[in-house]
Structure 1
Amino acid sequence: MDRLDMLKVFCAVVEAGAFSRAAERLSMSTSSVTNHVAALEAHFKVRLINRTTRSMSLTEEGRQCHAQALRLLADMGELESSLRDAGGTPAGVLRVDLPSVISRQYVAPALARFTQRYPELELRVTVGDRMIDMVEEGVDVLVRIGELPDSGLVARKLMSTRYVCCVAPAFLQQNGWPESPQSLDQFACLGFLNPRTRMVRPWKFSRDGEDSSHLPPATVRIDHVESMIEAAKAGCGIIQQMSVSLAPALRHGELAPVLTDWQAAGPDIFALYQPARRADAKVKVFVDFLVEIFTL
């Protein structure tokens, strides 16, 4: 039994959380999956997984094996990909992790164009907003919004954002326009509730080179950006969010910008990948594709 295959099956079991679910994903029988893991344990002469009829958990040796197996399989995948790419067309599996707003509004609508260009690439996309360990989770390209940790990753800027105040056009007709950040106190406003701190985020402004913040009273506070935008479109009040989230509603006239002379710079959007993957053709073509999306 090939040890690389044993490691692949072992990692699939860890990812799936159960032998039966791993078997389904791998199109194998549960007994075959069990035999692969048992053979790996026999080879290393250690138990990797504690298992009962109801649950399973990794031993300390199992955690070490899983972490190193992921790196080994990633290196093998990179080697296979680079050798294929040397022949011309990028091929193989490309794993990408995207923030929800970037996936929904920008990447997903354009994916058909990418897959038609590179039919030999198999794209696996996960959507989330947490910073992850790319090596441990086997991700090739990561897109994130905001300040970046000192991770040693290559960062390619895709877009700058701005903080935009906006409201439904009907709301303006009925209530008039705010003239300054302080005048927002006289209008119905929606506050964004930070999901982690449960605190309302102050609104950011900039004018004549001076940055400031203001927190208008909010009778409605929401910790979900898309829900806040929908409420604003329905006339619930004025909101401030990043331009990247507001772009479709502004483009379709569902929301109108206000206090445009006071817009502050927002966080930048970056594509991240490991330095060792700089020459990987499949990483390069996808990052170039992201740049293309954000410059259209």
Structure 2
Amino acid sequence: MDRLDAMRVFTRIVERRSFTVAAQDLGVPRSTVTDAVKQLEARLGIRLLQRTTRVVSPTLDGEAYYQRCLNILSDIEDAEGAFAGAKPKGQLRVDVHGTLARHFILPNLRAFLANYPEIEIYMSEGDRLVDLIREGIDCVVRVGTPQDSDMIARKVAMLDEVTFAAPSYIEAYGMPTHPDGLDGHRMIGFRSSATGRVLPLEFTINGQVREYILPATVSVNAAESYVSLAKLGMGLIQIPRYHANADLETGQLVEVLKDFPPTSTPVSVLYPRDRQLSPRVRVFIEWVAAVFNQKS
């Protein structure tokens, strides 16, 4: 294994805190990963990693070497990508909110891969907080206002939010005409993955955004369950319009309080602040921004 490949192995071990997981990520035997680190440590004459039965972590020298490796590998990728006709390649690991993935990203993914055939994508789904470095993720696509100051966030879209209910709910509780007349109504609680708290309903009244908490028999933390409960008549919900288009057409959901819309919700791509973007991450972010610009 040459020095550059050994550097790639070493950086993956540091990020994943595991020889075994790093080997799985890179598609090589664990013994290859172990030998690469031994050769690096022998060549440098220092100990790079501290090994315990549960976790692998860099020594002080290992942390310094890790940062230098990141810069070197990034510079090499940029240098190779600067030549005419050269296209990004390699594995790209992204984490995307599942509903966004199915509506915006997956339908357009074939075109992206046709343009960049040497990029291999691993896509996980979620809306939880992700430790990108530790989990080996290159970037995440998230809904809502980013809170993590360690990440750079590029806003790629603003999604119109709408209040919905099922016809059966309207039949049972009546059609509300003003947010101040919601006494006796119910909502389905949606718990934030960041705080664990139920998010309030938002309504814009005379240019001012006001929040309302209604009784909620059920609260969830997954978008699909949130919408499914609404279609069963369990309460009011607020979701991006795109998510409800099909249910509006079939009559399973109806829009309520349309004169008092919630605030729009940003969609952002987040990536580590202290890491230079690789060409494959850069082209993916540009592509995601273009997709949302066309469809949102």
- TM-score interval (norm. to shorter): 0.7 to 0.9
Q: Deviations over 1:206-240 (max 9, x none)?
A: 13323222222222222333322211112212222
Query: Runs of 5+ in structure 1 lacking a partner?
Result: none
AA aligned opposite 2:88: A
Maintained 8 Å contact 2:15/2:136: no
> What's the % identity of the aligned pairs?
30
AA aligned opposite 2:47: R
Of the structure 1 ranges 123-132 and 168-177, higher mean CA displacement relative to structure 2 is found in 123-132
- Tell me the residue number matched to 2:74: 74
- Tell me the residue number matched to 1:193: 191
* Residue 23 to residue 244, structure 1, CA distance change in 2 (3 Å): same
- Tell me the residue number matched to 1:40: 40
CA distance in 2, matches of 1:267, 1:12: 34
CA distance in 2, matches of 1:237, 1:262: 18
AA aligned opposite 1:254: Q
1:47-58 correspondence to structure 2 within 5 Å: 47-51=47-51, 54-58=53-57
AA aligned opposite 1:262: F
- Tell me the residue number matched to 1:92: 89
Helix, strand or coil for the counterpart of 2:105?
Answer: helix
CA distance in 1, matches of 2:99, 2:130: 15
Q: Deviations over 1:100-123 (max 9, x none)?
A: 332233212321232234324333
* Residue 7 to residue 102, structure 1, CA distance change in 2 (3 Å): same
* Residue 295 to residue 74, structure 1, CA distance change in 2 (3 Å): same
CA offset at residue 47 of structure 1?
1.4
Maintained 8 Å contact 2:6/2:37: yes
- Tell me the residue number matched to 2:211: 213
Maintained 8 Å contact 1:98/1:128: yes
Query: Runs of 5+ in structure 2 lacking a partner?
Result: none
- Tell me the residue number matched to 1:257: 255
- Tell me the residue number matched to 1:60: 60
Helix, strand or coil for the counterpart of 1:185?
Answer: coil
TM-score, structure 2 as length reference = 0.79
CA distance in 2, matches of 1:252, 1:283: 39
Maintained 8 Å contact 2:74/2:276: no
CA distance in 2, matches of 1:20, 1:132: 19
CA distance in 1, matches of 2:197, 2:153: 33
Maintained 8 Å contact 1:206/1:262: yes
Helix, strand or coil for the counterpart of 2:141?
Answer: strand
Q: For 1:237, which of 226, 235, 247 is the aligned residue?
A: 235
CA distance in 2, matches of 1:25, 1:283: 20
- Tell me the residue number matched to 2:178: 180
1:225 aligned onto 2:200: no
Helix, strand or coil for the counterpart of 1:265?
Answer: coil
Maintained 8 Å contact 2:165/2:236: yes
CA distance in 1, matches of 2:137, 2:193: 27
- Tell me the residue number matched to 1:106: 104
- Tell me the residue number matched to 1:160: 158
CA distance in 2, matches of 1:29, 1:151: 33
Of the structure 1 ranges 178-187 and 193-202, higher mean CA displacement relative to structure 2 is found in 193-202
CA distance in 1, matches of 2:184, 2:145: 33
How many residues are treated as equivalent by the alignment?
289
CA distance in 1, matches of 2:152, 2:195: 28
Maintained 8 Å contact 1:6/1:40: yes
CA offset at residue 285 of structure 1?
6.8
CA distance in 1, matches of 2:21, 2:131: 24
CA distance in 2, matches of 1:282, 1:196: 25
* Residue 246 to residue 67, structure 1, CA distance change in 2 (3 Å): farther
RMSD: 3.5
Maintained 8 Å contact 2:105/2:288: no
CA distance in 1, matches of 2:258, 2:210: 15
Of the structure 1 ranges 244-253 and 175-184, higher mean CA displacement relative to structure 2 is found in 244-253
TM-score, structure 1 as length reference = 0.79
